A and B are shown apart, each in its own frame.
Chain A
Amino acid sequence: MRKTATLQKIGYRKIIYLLVLLSATIPMLYPIGLPVIVTKQTQDLYEYIEKLPSGSNVAIEFAAYAGMYPDAQAATRAGLIHLFRRPLNIVLWHTTADGPMLLSGEMKYVKMGNRVYGKDHVFLPYVAGSEATTAALGTNIRGVFKSDSYGTPIDQIPLMKDINKAEDFAVILVMASAGGNEEWAVRQWMIPHHIPVGAYTISITYPMLIPYWRAGSVIGMTNGVRGGAEYEALIGSPGPGLRRTDVMSSVSLLYVALIVVANVEMMREKRPKQ
């Protein structure tokens, strides 16, 4: 009786929380370095970016939320490194208030090389709104943005001279979105303007994008931390993703173990007592 009272007093939750803490912390301190298999969706995204002709215009909707950013950080950083490494023209805007601060943190890891601001890349500021804003950007960027993040009027920026609508871009990439922005891009850029959509996204959004990927509306997407690790492996630039895969593995194994234990307990409870 005393043992049962103690277990009930401790509660199964505290035991589980302790196990989660251990399974997340130990691999961080003693990484194993398990290999990561690249999935088709990540491969498609990488290859599409890799095969874009030089001088293609790429639109990036940076939709990062601070709280959920760790899940998308690896893919976002790897995506930015890849994009800025290639000879592409990049126009980036923010749709979250956290975006500018988070982007400035990631740009420290991006090698700019011979890039000149205003000629091959532009950072536009934060714009509030939602699907309607995405739609408005697809038809008239100047209607939404009057200047860039630094206050330079958009008409004075050389790169923006011939860019004003969705059709002026080769692809739109949605980065670090908490979910929803990719669908907006599909509805407001892909369907009316036929501009393909790519997504560097969190793991929760990934299953939701599979129908669009199958239909060809989304050219490829990454899957949270694991997707970030895959993308890092593809571009040959290890980062937070590859460092976190062992934690992901151990915590996943713990979840499976808990499911097994729960079902064994349930079957024992259901067994008729003799």
Chain B
Amino acid sequence: MSVIVSGRISQLLFLLVYSLLVIYGIYRSVVQKKIPHIRQPAAIKALEEAVGRCVEMGKPMLFQTGIGDVSTEGVTHMAMLSVLGYTSKLAAQKDAKFIVSTPSPTLFPMAEAITREAYVAAGKADKFSVDTVRYLSDQQMAYCSAVMQLVKEEKIAANVQIGFFQAENLITLEAAKDAGAINIGGAYRMLRIPDMAIGCDFFLIGEEVFAAGAFCSQEPFQLGSLLGQDMNKWIALAIIILGTVLTALGSNVLIQALRM
């Protein structure tokens, strides 16, 4: 009797290989001090510019945490919280008015804690108020209406939407555009990438959202993990090419191996 459930052996193997490569990337960067040079996406650079724009125009920046519970889309929310920490620190340092809106009751305390911490770390604890982080509604369309009103009332100059969004995504992006704000977005779901592509001035696609924390912090540990991620992508590409060639030649060895 097999210890590993049938049909999942190759999956376990891939998971182990991928994890080891990420760990290797981190080891190479932190211990061996061979820090990889990583191209920073335009969306991350734009965050700093967006904060500067808000300060110049005297208008606030809106950061939307994204919809859904931590229990349903935890990984994306974790990535978003990294960006929130970075952005709120920037906003606190430059004295920009910063508003965080969230439709998730589970994300609300997390977002509040991270934003408050950023303000305290920047020495601007007095600038953080109960109005900084706003829980609007967990109903998608009610949240959407509330954001549209918020955007118009507060006259925001920059709107950040990196994380997990649903149909309200396009509406809130266009509402922000209508108010004259620049949009910085990021989505890993295929559904939302077209919305981001047409609604945002800068955006992160796919795995860039998960790597956003690394892009923001530029720490060796984080950059090393990006190296591991890229090595994994090369492996995936090699498997795809090998599989294409083998299948074209009439062999299904690789397919059988992947189904193990």
Report A's interface with B, CB cutoff 8 A.
13, 65-68, 129-132, 178-180, 191-192, 204-205, 207-208
Contact = CB atoms under 8 A, between A and B. Distances in A.
B191 A179 contact: yes
B140 A179 contact: no
A68 B167 contact: yes
27 contacts: A13-B178, A65-B140, A66-B141, A67-B139, A67-B140, A67-B141, A68-B166, A68-B167, A129-B72, A130-B69, A130-B72, A130-B73, A132-B71, A178-B166, A178-B167, A179-B166, A179-B189, A179-B191, A191-B7, A192-B5, A192-B8, A204-B167, A205-B191, A207-B190, A208-B189, A208-B190, A208-B191
Nearest to B74: A130
B88 to A, nearest CB: 28
B5 to A, nearest CB: 8
Contacts of B189: 179-180, 208
A221 B139 CA distance: 27
Contacts of B139: 67
A67 B167 CA distance: 9
Interface string B68-83: 0101110000000000
A207 B5 CA distance: 32
Contacts of B69: 130
Contacts of A131: 72
B68 to A, nearest CB: 9
Quick one: which of B8, B71, B141, B191 has the most chain A CB within 10 A?
A: B191
Contacts of B71: 129-130, 132
Interface residues of B, number: 16
Interface string B173-217: 000001000000000011100000000000000000000000000
Name the 9 nearest CB pairs between A and B, nearest first. A130-B72, A67-B141, A208-B190, A179-B191, A204-B191, A67-B140, A68-B167, A208-B191, A178-B166
B176 to A, nearest CB: 13
Nearest to A98: B139
Contacts of B190: 207-208
B152 to A, nearest CB: 13
Nearest to B195: A204
Quick one: which of A68, A129, A132, A204 has the most chain B CB within 10 A?
A: A204
Nearest to A191: B7
A180 to B, nearest CB: 8
B14 to A, nearest CB: 13
Contacts of A68: 166-167
Quick one: which of B8, B69, B167 has the most chain A CB within 10 A?
A: B167
Contacts of A132: 71
Contacts of B167: 67-68, 178, 204
A179 B166 CA distance: 8
Contacts of A65: 140
A131 B69 CA distance: 12
Nearest to A210: B190
A131 B178 CA distance: 36
Nearest to B167: A68
B185 to A, nearest CB: 16
Nearest to B259: A191
Contacts of B7: 191-192
Contacts of B73: 130
Nearest to A129: B71
A138 B61 CA distance: 44
A143 B190 CA distance: 32
Interface string B116-157: 000000000000000000000001110000000000000000
Contacts of B72: 129-131
Nearest to A208: B190
A65 B142 CA distance: 13
